[in-house]
Structures are given as C-alpha cells and as structure tokens.
Amino acid sequence: MIAKLGQRFNAAGIGSAARVLLRDRSLMLPHVHVPDISWIDWRALKERGFAGVVFDKDNTLTAPYVATVWPTLGESLEECRKCFGENVALLSNSAAGLYQFDPAGVEADALEKSLGISVIRHGSKKPAGNADALKKRFGCDASLLVMVGDRHLTDVVYGNKNGLLTISTEPLTLKGEPFIVTRVRRFEDAMLRRWKSSGLKPPPHSLHTTEFDFIKDPGCW
C-alpha cells in the first residue's frame, strides 16, 4: 500500500509544476493538440525530419494501469512503428522503467512484451529529469524527438523543457484515474484556456510551424 502511494505521489513533479506556474508558463503549452494519437500524421513528422517518438502510457496509449493498447489506437501505433521503426519508446510515470520502483526492470519487461514497444529505464518522474536517457536510447539530439502524452504538467512540460516537439492528447478515459489526477487535470485545462486566450505560445521549435502541423484532417474537429 505504501509502495503504491509512493508510485502515485510525484514530489519532484509538484515542485517542477510550481516553478512552471510561477515562471515558465509556455512550457505547459504543447506545439500540437489532438483528440488521440490516431489524429497524428506520423509520415509528416518523419518527412519533416523527426527521428523518433516517445509515448506516455496511461491515458495516452492505454487506459490507466492497463497493459494493453486502447482498442481504437492499435492501427495508429502500427503506422507510427512503420514510420519510425525501432525508434518508438515509452517513458512512463507508472512504476515500469523507473529505477526507484522497478529496479530490476520486471514491470518494464512485461510491458514491453504486452505493448511491443521498448520501455525507457529512467531515474525520475516527468516533468523532472533531463533527456539523457532519451539521447542514449535514440542516439540523437532530443530536438529530433516527439513527446506524445495526455498531461500538460508532466508530459508536455518534460518534453518542452528538454527541447522535444510536444503533442498532447485528450485523456482516453477518466475511469480508473486517481481522484487527485482528475482534479489536477481540470486545473491544467482551466490554466491552459486562460493562457492561450491571452496569446501565450509554446516554446519555439525549429521543425514546427503552426498548431495544425502533423494533424490528419485538422479541419474535422
């Protein structure tokens, strides 16, 4: 029980989030926002020069605490794999891959088998931490990678502060999500709406031009 609470409590994340709210609000804004990953044009990303994709897990690829891909997203994930080959990986704030909670990599191994994507082993929860584990895994500069995730205060802030292109998704389901995460998510949404309407933009990225980049049929939603 204590271990589970430890896994869910993200002290570094709370500290980092506080800094964002006080100083670097633009870090919370994604370069692109889509309803879910099936809207992402993987080929366009590859053609623009991106070399790899880093996915969040819970509520981006799977339901929270579930080890199988959300049923309607399998095809898009396969397209992503076809475009980027081995350069597709998972960076999760769940126990899998975190040295603190999964030191032998048992959960990461199981997740790799279940999802068919490699799980990056790392030392801190997003948004804390630098991009060293990514550079080691992908062998390229972090600016050539795309971070895809459903949480602005974790996935987007982590990606933006480390120079990745950031794509945010709507959560797949609120069922099974911890109460505190749902409350923080509402807070994030309210802040984002306010900041966007005041004209705030995400940090500049050399391979990004508009918020409609890399979206299939952007006029459809």
Contacts to Mg ion by CB under 5 A: 56, 58-59, 150
Cβ proximity to Mg ion, 46 vs 125, nearer residue? 125
Cβ proximity to Mg ion, 31 vs 126, nearer residue? 126
Contacts of 181 (CB under 8 A, 6+ apart): 151
Q: Name the token pair of 31.
A: 């370069």
- Provide the minimum distance between the beta carbon of 157 and Mg ion in the complex, in angstroms, as a whole number: 13
φ/ψ of 145, rounded to 5, equals -110, 155
- Provide the minimum distance between the beta carbon of 171 and Mg ion in the complex, in angstroms, as a whole number: 7
Cβ proximity to Mg ion, 36 vs 58, nearer residue? 58
208 CA to centre of own chain: 17
Cα angle value 18/19/22 (rounded, 5°): 90
Cβ proximity to Mg ion, 36 vs 150, nearer residue? 150
Could you tell me the end-to-end alpha-carbon distance of the chain, in angstroms, rounded to an integer? 42
Cβ proximity to Mg ion, 59 vs 87, nearer residue? 59
| Single-letter amino acid, residue 24 | D
- Provide the minimum distance between the beta carbon of 158 and Mg ion in the complex, in angstroms, as a whole number: 11
Cβ proximity to Mg ion, 138 vs 158, nearer residue? 158
- Provide the minimum distance between the beta carbon of 81 and Mg ion in the complex, in angstroms, as a whole number: 20
Cβ proximity to Mg ion, 67 vs 140, nearer residue? 67
Mark out the alpha helices in 139-178 (DSSP H runs): 157-161
Query: CA neighbours within 13 Å on the CB side: how many for 123?
Result: 5
C-beta of residue 106 within 8 angstroms of C-beta of residue 77: no
Cα angle value 47/90/42 (rounded, 5°): 20
Q: Peptide bond before 64: cis, by omega within 30 degrees of 0?
A: no
Task: Report the C-alpha gap between 44 and 66 in whole angstroms.
Answer: 30
- Provide the minimum distance between the beta carbon of 193 and Mg ion in the complex, in angstroms, as a whole number: 20
- Provide the minimum distance between the beta carbon of 189 and Mg ion in the complex, in angstroms, as a whole number: 14
- Provide the minimum distance between the beta carbon of 24 and Mg ion in the complex, in angstroms, as a whole number: 21
